[in-house]
Structure 1
Amino acid sequence: MLQRLVHIPDGPALIEGMLEIPDQPRGIVLFAHGSGSSRHSPRNNYVAGVLREAGIGTLLMDLLTAEEDGDYKTRFDIPLLTRRLTVATQWLAQQPEAKGLPIGYFGASTGAAAALQAAAKMGKAVAAVVSRGGRPDLAGGVALRQVVAPTLLIVGSLDDVVIELNRAAFEVMTCEKELRIVPGASHLFEEPGTLEEVARLATDWFLRHLLLQLGNPHAL
Protein backbone atom coordinates (compact mmCIF):
# COMPACT_ATOMS: atom_id res chain seq x y z
CA MET A 1 0.00 0.00 0.00
CA LEU A 2 1.39 3.36 -1.06
CA GLN A 3 0.51 6.22 1.29
CA ARG A 4 1.79 9.77 1.00
CA LEU A 5 0.82 13.33 1.79
CA VAL A 6 0.70 15.35 -1.42
CA HIS A 7 0.63 19.05 -2.27
CA ILE A 8 -0.83 19.89 -5.66
CA PRO A 9 -0.14 23.40 -7.01
CA ASP A 10 -2.89 25.59 -8.44
CA GLY A 11 -1.22 28.92 -9.04
CA PRO A 12 -0.13 30.25 -5.63
CA ALA A 13 -2.45 27.83 -3.81
CA LEU A 14 -1.54 24.31 -2.73
CA ILE A 15 -4.11 21.53 -2.56
CA GLU A 16 -3.15 19.25 0.32
CA GLY A 17 -4.28 15.66 0.19
CA MET A 18 -3.61 12.08 1.24
CA LEU A 19 -3.00 9.66 -1.61
CA GLU A 20 -3.40 5.97 -0.74
CA ILE A 21 -3.07 3.27 -3.38
CA PRO A 22 -3.34 -0.45 -2.60
CA ASP A 23 -1.22 -3.05 -4.34
CA GLN A 24 -2.51 -3.91 -7.82
CA PRO A 25 -5.08 -1.08 -7.85
CA ARG A 26 -8.19 -1.15 -10.00
CA GLY A 27 -8.46 2.61 -10.22
CA ILE A 28 -8.38 5.75 -8.09
CA VAL A 29 -11.25 7.82 -6.67
CA LEU A 30 -10.82 11.52 -5.88
CA PHE A 31 -12.99 12.86 -3.04
CA ALA A 32 -14.62 16.30 -3.11
CA HIS A 33 -16.00 17.07 0.36
CA GLY A 34 -18.86 19.41 1.17
CA SER A 35 -18.81 22.92 2.59
CA GLY A 36 -17.49 23.17 6.12
CA SER A 37 -15.90 19.72 5.93
CA SER A 38 -12.35 18.62 5.10
CA ARG A 39 -10.32 15.68 3.90
CA HIS A 40 -10.43 14.45 7.50
CA SER A 41 -14.23 13.94 7.26
CA PRO A 42 -14.94 10.69 9.14
CA ARG A 43 -17.71 9.78 6.70
CA ASN A 44 -15.59 10.21 3.59
CA ASN A 45 -12.68 8.47 5.25
CA TYR A 46 -14.88 5.52 6.09
CA VAL A 47 -16.05 5.21 2.47
CA ALA A 48 -12.46 5.62 1.27
CA GLY A 49 -11.33 2.79 3.53
CA VAL A 50 -13.99 0.47 2.10
CA LEU A 51 -12.91 1.39 -1.44
CA ARG A 52 -9.27 0.61 -0.65
CA GLU A 53 -10.28 -2.78 0.77
CA ALA A 54 -11.83 -3.43 -2.65
CA GLY A 55 -8.57 -2.52 -4.39
CA ILE A 56 -9.41 1.06 -5.33
CA GLY A 57 -6.97 3.87 -4.54
CA THR A 58 -8.18 7.12 -2.97
CA LEU A 59 -7.16 10.77 -2.90
CA LEU A 60 -8.82 12.74 -0.11
CA MET A 61 -7.96 16.42 -0.32
CA ASP A 62 -8.84 19.91 0.80
CA LEU A 63 -9.93 21.76 -2.34
CA LEU A 64 -9.73 25.06 -0.43
CA THR A 65 -6.81 26.49 1.51
CA ALA A 66 -7.37 27.22 5.21
CA GLU A 67 -7.73 30.93 4.42
CA GLU A 68 -10.25 30.29 1.63
CA ASP A 69 -12.25 27.92 3.80
CA GLY A 70 -12.59 30.66 6.39
CA ASP A 71 -14.68 32.66 3.90
CA TYR A 72 -18.23 31.27 3.96
CA LYS A 73 -18.93 32.41 0.37
CA THR A 74 -15.87 30.62 -0.99
CA ARG A 75 -17.16 27.32 0.38
CA PHE A 76 -19.96 27.59 -2.19
CA ASP A 77 -17.73 28.75 -5.07
CA ILE A 78 -18.48 25.75 -7.31
CA PRO A 79 -16.33 26.98 -10.25
CA LEU A 80 -13.30 27.27 -7.92
CA LEU A 81 -13.91 23.83 -6.41
CA THR A 82 -14.33 22.42 -9.92
CA ARG A 83 -11.06 23.93 -11.11
CA ARG A 84 -9.19 22.53 -8.12
CA LEU A 85 -10.65 19.07 -8.70
CA THR A 86 -9.72 19.24 -12.39
CA VAL A 87 -6.18 20.38 -11.55
CA ALA A 88 -5.85 17.51 -9.05
CA THR A 89 -7.08 15.04 -11.67
CA GLN A 90 -4.55 16.23 -14.23
CA TRP A 91 -1.77 16.11 -11.63
CA LEU A 92 -2.73 12.60 -10.56
CA ALA A 93 -2.71 11.31 -14.13
CA GLN A 94 0.98 12.28 -14.37
CA GLN A 95 2.06 10.44 -11.23
CA PRO A 96 3.92 7.19 -12.04
CA GLU A 97 1.96 5.18 -9.47
CA ALA A 98 -1.38 6.33 -10.94
CA LYS A 99 -0.63 6.60 -14.64
CA GLY A 100 -3.10 4.68 -16.77
CA LEU A 101 -5.48 3.91 -13.91
CA PRO A 102 -9.19 4.72 -14.36
CA ILE A 103 -10.37 7.71 -12.32
CA GLY A 104 -13.60 8.24 -10.43
CA TYR A 105 -15.08 11.08 -8.37
CA PHE A 106 -16.91 10.85 -5.03
CA GLY A 107 -18.64 14.08 -4.06
CA ALA A 108 -20.56 14.97 -0.91
CA SER A 109 -22.92 17.92 -0.48
CA THR A 110 -21.54 20.87 -2.51
CA GLY A 111 -18.57 18.70 -3.48
CA ALA A 112 -20.96 16.67 -5.65
CA ALA A 113 -21.64 19.75 -7.79
CA ALA A 114 -17.89 20.25 -8.28
CA ALA A 115 -17.47 16.55 -9.12
CA LEU A 116 -20.17 16.74 -11.79
CA GLN A 117 -18.86 19.98 -13.28
CA ALA A 118 -15.35 18.51 -13.39
CA ALA A 119 -16.69 15.29 -14.93
CA ALA A 120 -18.41 17.37 -17.61
CA LYS A 121 -15.08 19.08 -18.40
CA MET A 122 -12.99 15.91 -18.30
CA GLY A 123 -15.29 13.79 -20.48
CA LYS A 124 -14.26 10.15 -20.85
CA ALA A 125 -11.19 10.70 -18.67
CA VAL A 126 -13.54 10.17 -15.70
CA ALA A 127 -14.91 6.63 -15.48
CA ALA A 128 -17.61 7.12 -12.82
CA VAL A 129 -19.12 9.58 -10.35
CA VAL A 130 -20.86 8.95 -7.02
CA SER A 131 -22.72 11.63 -5.05
CA ARG A 132 -23.54 11.20 -1.35
CA GLY A 133 -26.23 13.54 -0.04
CA GLY A 134 -25.07 15.83 -2.81
CA ARG A 135 -26.27 19.02 -4.43
CA PRO A 136 -26.03 18.08 -8.11
CA ASP A 137 -28.43 20.92 -8.91
CA LEU A 138 -25.63 23.38 -8.12
CA ALA A 139 -23.66 22.02 -11.07
CA GLY A 140 -26.15 23.66 -13.41
CA GLY A 141 -28.18 22.19 -16.24
CA VAL A 142 -25.54 22.71 -18.93
CA ALA A 143 -22.89 20.75 -17.03
CA LEU A 144 -25.35 18.03 -16.00
CA ARG A 145 -26.26 17.41 -19.64
CA GLN A 146 -22.56 17.26 -20.59
CA VAL A 147 -21.59 14.56 -18.06
CA VAL A 148 -20.80 11.28 -19.84
CA ALA A 149 -19.43 9.39 -16.82
CA PRO A 150 -21.90 6.89 -15.30
CA THR A 151 -23.30 8.65 -12.23
CA LEU A 152 -24.84 7.30 -9.03
CA LEU A 153 -26.79 9.69 -6.81
CA ILE A 154 -27.27 8.47 -3.22
CA VAL A 155 -29.69 10.26 -0.90
CA GLY A 156 -31.15 9.45 2.52
CA SER A 157 -34.91 8.84 2.66
CA LEU A 158 -35.27 11.43 5.45
CA ASP A 159 -33.48 14.13 3.43
CA ASP A 160 -36.67 15.41 1.77
CA VAL A 161 -35.47 18.62 0.14
CA VAL A 162 -32.25 17.06 -1.16
CA ILE A 163 -34.19 14.11 -2.59
CA GLU A 164 -36.23 16.49 -4.73
CA LEU A 165 -33.11 18.40 -5.84
CA ASN A 166 -31.47 15.10 -6.83
CA ARG A 167 -34.56 13.94 -8.70
CA ALA A 168 -34.63 17.18 -10.68
CA ALA A 169 -30.93 16.89 -11.56
CA PHE A 170 -31.38 13.21 -12.40
CA GLU A 171 -34.04 14.06 -14.99
CA VAL A 172 -31.68 16.51 -16.71
CA MET A 173 -28.73 14.09 -16.96
CA THR A 174 -28.38 11.99 -20.11
CA CYS A 175 -25.52 9.68 -19.07
CA GLU A 176 -25.91 6.22 -17.54
CA LYS A 177 -27.36 7.04 -14.13
CA GLU A 178 -29.02 5.70 -11.01
CA LEU A 179 -30.72 7.36 -8.04
CA ARG A 180 -30.64 5.28 -4.87
CA ILE A 181 -32.49 6.30 -1.72
CA VAL A 182 -31.18 4.77 1.52
CA PRO A 183 -34.07 3.95 3.88
CA GLY A 184 -34.00 5.61 7.30
CA ALA A 185 -31.02 7.85 6.47
CA SER A 186 -30.77 11.58 7.12
CA HIS A 187 -28.50 14.01 5.28
CA LEU A 188 -25.30 12.92 7.06
CA PHE A 189 -26.11 9.18 7.09
CA GLU A 190 -25.54 9.02 10.84
CA GLU A 191 -28.13 6.32 11.49
CA PRO A 192 -26.88 2.76 12.14
CA GLY A 193 -26.00 0.89 8.97
CA THR A 194 -26.74 3.76 6.58
CA LEU A 195 -23.17 4.87 5.90
CA GLU A 196 -22.23 1.22 5.39
CA GLU A 197 -24.94 1.05 2.71
CA VAL A 198 -23.49 4.17 1.05
CA ALA A 199 -20.04 2.56 1.00
CA ARG A 200 -21.45 -0.66 -0.44
CA LEU A 201 -23.36 1.12 -3.20
CA ALA A 202 -20.37 3.33 -4.06
CA THR A 203 -17.93 0.42 -4.12
CA ASP A 204 -20.16 -1.64 -6.40
CA TRP A 205 -20.61 1.32 -8.76
CA PHE A 206 -16.92 2.15 -8.94
CA LEU A 207 -15.82 -1.46 -9.34
CA ARG A 208 -18.21 -1.97 -12.21
CA HIS A 209 -17.26 1.14 -14.14
CA LEU A 210 -13.57 1.46 -13.28
CA LEU A 211 -13.00 -2.14 -14.37
CA LEU A 212 -14.83 -1.47 -17.63
CA GLN A 213 -12.45 1.38 -18.40
CA LEU A 214 -9.42 -0.56 -17.14
CA GLY A 215 -10.25 -3.22 -19.72
CA ASN A 216 -10.68 -0.57 -22.43
CA PRO A 217 -7.72 1.83 -22.25
CA HIS A 218 -8.89 3.53 -25.45
CA ALA A 219 -11.78 4.99 -23.43
CA LEU A 220 -9.30 7.60 -22.22
Structure 2
Amino acid sequence: MLPETARIATDSGAVLTGDLAVPDRARGVVAFAHGSGSSRHSPRNRAVAGVLREAGLGTLLFDLLTEDEERTDRVTAEHRFDVPLLGRRLVAAVDWLVGHPSAAGLPVGLFGASTGAAAALVAAAERPGEVRAVVSRGGRPDLAGDALDRVGAPVLLIVGGEDREVLRLNERAAARLSAPCTVHVVPGATHLFEEPGALDQVAAAARDWFARMSRREASW
Protein backbone atom coordinates (compact mmCIF):
# COMPACT_ATOMS: atom_id res chain seq x y z
CA MET A 1 0.00 0.00 0.00
CA LEU A 2 1.75 3.13 -1.24
CA PRO A 3 0.47 6.44 0.14
CA GLU A 4 -0.41 9.17 -2.31
CA THR A 5 -0.31 12.93 -1.94
CA ALA A 6 -3.71 14.56 -1.63
CA ARG A 7 -4.41 18.07 -2.93
CA ILE A 8 -7.71 19.26 -1.50
CA ALA A 9 -9.27 22.43 -2.90
CA THR A 10 -11.40 24.49 -0.51
CA ASP A 11 -14.24 26.94 -1.09
CA SER A 12 -11.86 29.84 -0.38
CA GLY A 13 -9.45 28.75 -3.08
CA ALA A 14 -6.85 27.42 -0.65
CA VAL A 15 -5.32 24.05 -1.47
CA LEU A 16 -4.57 21.72 1.44
CA THR A 17 -1.94 18.98 1.34
CA GLY A 18 -2.44 15.51 2.75
CA ASP A 19 -1.38 11.88 2.73
CA LEU A 20 -3.91 9.26 1.64
CA ALA A 21 -3.31 5.55 2.19
CA VAL A 22 -5.99 3.01 1.33
CA PRO A 23 -5.35 -0.72 1.83
CA ASP A 24 -6.59 -3.29 -0.66
CA ARG A 25 -10.22 -4.25 0.03
CA ALA A 26 -10.53 -1.39 2.51
CA ARG A 27 -13.64 -1.40 4.71
CA GLY A 28 -13.78 2.36 5.07
CA VAL A 29 -11.64 5.49 5.15
CA VAL A 30 -10.95 7.90 8.02
CA ALA A 31 -9.98 11.57 7.69
CA PHE A 32 -7.97 13.04 10.56
CA ALA A 33 -8.46 16.57 11.89
CA HIS A 34 -5.53 17.48 14.09
CA GLY A 35 -5.59 19.76 17.07
CA SER A 36 -4.46 23.31 17.60
CA GLY A 37 -0.90 24.03 16.56
CA SER A 38 -0.42 20.58 15.01
CA SER A 39 -0.26 19.19 11.47
CA ARG A 40 -0.61 16.00 9.45
CA HIS A 41 2.77 14.98 10.85
CA SER A 42 1.34 14.64 14.38
CA PRO A 43 3.02 11.53 15.82
CA ARG A 44 -0.07 10.66 17.87
CA ASN A 45 -2.44 10.80 14.92
CA ARG A 46 0.02 8.88 12.77
CA ALA A 47 0.25 6.17 15.40
CA VAL A 48 -3.54 5.84 15.46
CA ALA A 49 -3.67 5.90 11.65
CA GLY A 50 -1.23 3.01 11.50
CA VAL A 51 -3.48 0.88 13.71
CA LEU A 52 -6.50 1.72 11.54
CA ARG A 53 -4.70 0.72 8.34
CA GLU A 54 -3.68 -2.59 9.91
CA ALA A 55 -7.41 -3.16 10.48
CA GLY A 56 -8.20 -2.54 6.81
CA LEU A 57 -9.22 1.11 7.00
CA GLY A 58 -7.86 3.82 4.74
CA THR A 59 -6.55 7.04 6.28
CA LEU A 60 -6.28 10.65 5.15
CA LEU A 61 -4.00 12.87 7.21
CA PHE A 62 -3.98 16.43 5.92
CA ASP A 63 -3.15 19.96 6.98
CA LEU A 64 -6.16 22.04 7.93
CA LEU A 65 -4.20 25.23 7.22
CA THR A 66 -2.03 26.33 4.30
CA GLU A 67 1.66 27.05 4.87
CA ASP A 68 1.00 30.81 4.95
CA GLU A 69 -1.84 30.33 7.43
CA GLU A 70 0.38 28.12 9.59
CA ARG A 71 3.07 30.80 9.70
CA THR A 72 0.52 33.41 10.74
CA ASP A 73 -1.07 31.09 13.27
CA ARG A 74 2.25 30.39 14.98
CA VAL A 75 2.41 34.10 15.84
CA THR A 76 -1.24 35.03 16.36
CA ALA A 77 -3.03 31.68 17.05
CA GLU A 78 -5.94 33.18 15.10
CA HIS A 79 -6.75 30.13 12.97
CA ARG A 80 -6.34 27.17 15.31
CA PHE A 81 -9.51 28.02 17.24
CA ASP A 82 -11.52 29.09 14.19
CA VAL A 83 -13.84 26.09 14.29
CA PRO A 84 -16.11 27.26 11.42
CA LEU A 85 -13.04 27.55 9.17
CA LEU A 86 -11.66 24.19 10.27
CA GLY A 87 -15.08 22.59 9.81
CA ARG A 88 -15.33 23.89 6.24
CA ARG A 89 -11.87 22.53 5.52
CA LEU A 90 -12.89 19.12 6.80
CA VAL A 91 -16.07 19.21 4.71
CA ALA A 92 -13.84 19.83 1.68
CA ALA A 93 -11.80 16.77 2.64
CA VAL A 94 -14.94 14.63 2.93
CA ASP A 95 -16.11 15.80 -0.50
CA TRP A 96 -12.67 15.08 -1.93
CA LEU A 97 -12.69 11.55 -0.50
CA VAL A 98 -16.16 10.81 -1.83
CA GLY A 99 -15.03 11.73 -5.33
CA HIS A 100 -11.59 10.13 -5.24
CA PRO A 101 -11.15 6.81 -7.07
CA SER A 102 -9.26 5.16 -4.19
CA ALA A 103 -11.97 5.99 -1.64
CA ALA A 104 -15.18 6.33 -3.64
CA GLY A 105 -17.96 4.16 -2.24
CA LEU A 106 -16.25 3.61 1.12
CA PRO A 107 -17.93 4.70 4.36
CA VAL A 108 -16.21 7.79 5.75
CA GLY A 109 -15.20 8.33 9.36
CA LEU A 110 -13.71 11.40 11.02
CA PHE A 111 -11.08 11.38 13.77
CA GLY A 112 -10.56 14.70 15.55
CA ALA A 113 -8.09 15.73 18.25
CA SER A 114 -8.45 18.83 20.43
CA THR A 115 -10.12 21.57 18.33
CA GLY A 116 -10.11 19.13 15.40
CA ALA A 117 -12.84 17.21 17.22
CA ALA A 118 -15.15 20.21 17.01
CA ALA A 119 -14.34 20.53 13.30
CA ALA A 120 -15.15 16.83 12.84
CA LEU A 121 -18.57 17.30 14.44
CA VAL A 122 -19.28 20.36 12.30
CA ALA A 123 -18.37 18.38 9.18
CA ALA A 124 -20.51 15.43 10.28
CA ALA A 125 -23.46 17.79 10.69
CA GLU A 126 -22.86 19.27 7.23
CA ARG A 127 -22.40 15.92 5.47
CA PRO A 128 -24.86 13.54 7.19
CA GLY A 129 -25.09 11.27 4.14
CA GLU A 130 -21.35 10.73 3.89
CA VAL A 131 -19.96 10.72 7.44
CA ARG A 132 -20.79 7.46 9.17
CA ALA A 133 -18.80 7.72 12.43
CA VAL A 134 -16.83 10.25 14.48
CA VAL A 135 -14.10 9.71 17.08
CA SER A 136 -12.66 12.45 19.29
CA ARG A 137 -9.32 12.14 21.12
CA GLY A 138 -8.94 14.57 23.98
CA GLY A 139 -11.23 16.81 21.99
CA ARG A 140 -13.29 19.92 22.51
CA PRO A 141 -16.68 18.87 21.15
CA ASP A 142 -18.27 21.74 23.05
CA LEU A 143 -16.70 24.14 20.52
CA ALA A 144 -18.91 22.67 17.78
CA GLY A 145 -21.76 24.81 19.10
CA ASP A 146 -25.15 24.34 17.46
CA ALA A 147 -23.72 21.68 15.13
CA LEU A 148 -23.95 19.25 18.05
CA ASP A 149 -27.72 19.23 17.67
CA ARG A 150 -27.46 18.20 14.00
CA VAL A 151 -24.92 15.38 14.16
CA GLY A 152 -26.44 12.05 13.11
CA ALA A 153 -23.33 9.87 12.97
CA PRO A 154 -22.40 7.82 16.05
CA VAL A 155 -19.78 9.61 18.17
CA LEU A 156 -17.04 8.20 20.42
CA LEU A 157 -15.48 10.70 22.82
CA ILE A 158 -12.16 9.43 24.19
CA VAL A 159 -10.84 11.36 27.18
CA GLY A 160 -8.07 10.82 29.71
CA GLY A 161 -9.29 10.13 33.22
CA GLU A 162 -6.90 12.75 34.60
CA ASP A 163 -7.90 15.35 31.99
CA ARG A 164 -10.66 16.45 34.30
CA GLU A 165 -11.80 19.74 32.76
CA VAL A 166 -11.86 18.28 29.23
CA LEU A 167 -13.74 15.25 30.56
CA ARG A 168 -16.36 17.56 32.05
CA LEU A 169 -16.73 19.41 28.73
CA ASN A 170 -17.04 16.12 26.86
CA GLU A 171 -19.74 14.86 29.20
CA ARG A 172 -21.71 18.07 28.71
CA ALA A 173 -21.35 17.83 24.92
CA ALA A 174 -22.42 14.17 25.00
CA ALA A 175 -25.61 15.15 26.80
CA ARG A 176 -26.48 17.48 23.92
CA LEU A 177 -25.93 14.94 21.16
CA SER A 178 -29.01 13.14 19.88
CA ALA A 179 -26.81 10.75 17.88
CA PRO A 180 -25.54 7.57 19.54
CA CYS A 181 -22.62 8.61 21.74
CA THR A 182 -20.18 6.93 24.10
CA VAL A 183 -17.70 8.64 26.42
CA HIS A 184 -14.66 6.36 26.71
CA VAL A 185 -12.41 7.26 29.64
CA VAL A 186 -8.79 6.05 29.59
CA PRO A 187 -7.91 5.62 33.29
CA GLY A 188 -4.86 7.54 34.47
CA ALA A 189 -4.32 9.33 31.15
CA THR A 190 -3.76 13.06 30.82
CA HIS A 191 -4.60 15.30 27.86
CA LEU A 192 -1.93 14.07 25.44
CA PHE A 193 -2.19 10.38 26.42
CA GLU A 194 1.56 10.25 27.03
CA GLU A 195 1.32 7.62 29.77
CA PRO A 196 2.52 4.09 28.91
CA GLY A 197 -0.17 2.24 26.96
CA ALA A 198 -2.62 5.16 26.92
CA LEU A 199 -2.35 5.92 23.20
CA ASP A 200 -2.62 2.19 22.46
CA GLN A 201 -6.00 2.23 24.20
CA VAL A 202 -7.06 5.25 22.13
CA ALA A 203 -6.07 3.51 18.89
CA ALA A 204 -7.85 0.28 19.81
CA ALA A 205 -11.06 2.07 20.76
CA ALA A 206 -11.00 4.14 17.55
CA ARG A 207 -10.31 1.05 15.44
CA ASP A 208 -13.24 -0.83 16.93
CA TRP A 209 -15.59 2.15 16.52
CA PHE A 210 -14.70 2.77 12.88
CA ALA A 211 -14.84 -0.94 12.06
CA ARG A 212 -18.56 -0.85 12.86
CA MET A 213 -19.35 1.89 10.34
CA SER A 214 -18.97 -0.51 7.41
CA ARG A 215 -21.91 -2.51 8.73
CA ARG A 216 -25.12 -0.59 8.20
CA GLU A 217 -26.94 -2.90 10.56
CA ALA A 218 -24.46 -2.22 13.36
CA SER A 219 -25.99 -1.58 16.75
CA TRP A 220 -24.40 1.46 18.36
TM-score bracket relative to the smaller structure: over 0.9
AA partner of residue 165 (structure 2): V
Contact 1:124–1:149 (CA under 8 A) maintained in structure 2:
no
Contact 1:29–1:56 (CA under 8 A) maintained in structure 2:
yes
Q: 1:169 aligns with which of 157, 163, 173?
A: 173
Q: Distance in 2 between matches of 1:42 and 1:65?
A: 19
Contact 2:94–2:130 (CA under 8 A) maintained in structure 1:
no
Q: Distance in 2 between matches of 1:200 and 1:75?
A: 27
CA positional deviation for 1:93: 0.7
Residue in structure 1 matched with residue 68 of structure 2 by the alignment: 67
CA positional deviation for 1:9: 1.4
Q: 2:200 aligns with which of 188, 196, 202?
A: 196
Q: Distance in 2 between matches of 1:74 and 1:3?
A: 28
Q: Distance in 1 between matches of 2:128 and 2:97?
A: 16
TM-score normalised per structure 1: 0.94
CA positional deviation for 1:12: 2.8
Contact 1:6–1:16 (CA under 8 A) maintained in structure 2:
yes
Question: Structure 1: 5+ residue runs without aligned partners?
Answer: none
Pairwise CA RMSD of aligned residues? 1.2
**Secondary structure of the residue that 2:87 maps to in structure 1?**
helix
AA partner of residue 67 (structure 1): D
Name whichever of 131-140 and 3-12 sits farther off: 3-12
Q: 2:184 aligns with which of 165, 168, 180?
A: 180
Tell me, yes or no, if structure 1 residue 145 matches structure 2 residue 149.
Answer: yes
Question: How many equivalent pairs are there?
Answer: 213
AA partner of residue 146 (structure 1): R
**Secondary structure of the residue that 2:136 maps to in structure 1?**
strand
Tell me, yes or no, if structure 1 residue 99 matches structure 2 residue 91.
Answer: no
Tell me, yes or no, if structure 1 residue 3 matches structure 2 residue 16.
Answer: no
Residue in structure 2 matched with residue 212 of structure 1 by the alignment: 215
The Cα offsets for residues 122-164 of structure 1, whole Å up to 9 and x where unpaired, read as: 1131110000000000001x21111000000000001011000
TM-score normalised per structure 2: 0.94
Contact 2:157–2:184 (CA under 8 A) maintained in structure 1:
yes
Q: Distance in 2 between matches of 1:20 and 1:49?
A: 10
Contact 1:5–1:19 (CA under 8 A) maintained in structure 2:
yes
Moved segments of 4+, more than 6 Å: none
| Identical-residue share of aligned pairs (%) | 58
